[in-house]
Amino acid sequence: MLKLLCVMAVLLASIPVAALAQGSQQQRSGTPEEQKACAKDVARHCRTLMDEGDLVVLGCLQQHRAAISAACNKVLTDHGQ
């Protein structure tokens, strides 16, 4: 479960700065490289779900597994997803 939460924090790194300015102050885990690896995939495939929570975004990325970048896929795989 801890790995899942870490992965989701990494994936949510793509939240636009405007959303952060609206009071959403979440701590992020994962390396900057891991965050960068999935940011474009989250924005491309899961943008409409970004406000629905970590598990929803993870599920979205898993649904689009064949279309996500190799780098993001590696992040998910490295975290047991």
User: Residue 27: its pLDDT value, please?
Assistant: 45
Q: Where are the domains of the chain?
A: 2-14+31-78
User: Residue 12: its pLDDT value, please?
Assistant: 57
pTM over 0.85: no
Which residues in the chain show pLDDT less than 50? 5-6, 14-25, 27-28
Other CB atoms within 10 A of residue 1 CB: 5
User: Residue 23: its pLDDT value, please?
Assistant: 42
User: Residue 55: its pLDDT value, please?
Assistant: 81
C-alpha closest to that of 4 among 43, 42, 57: 57
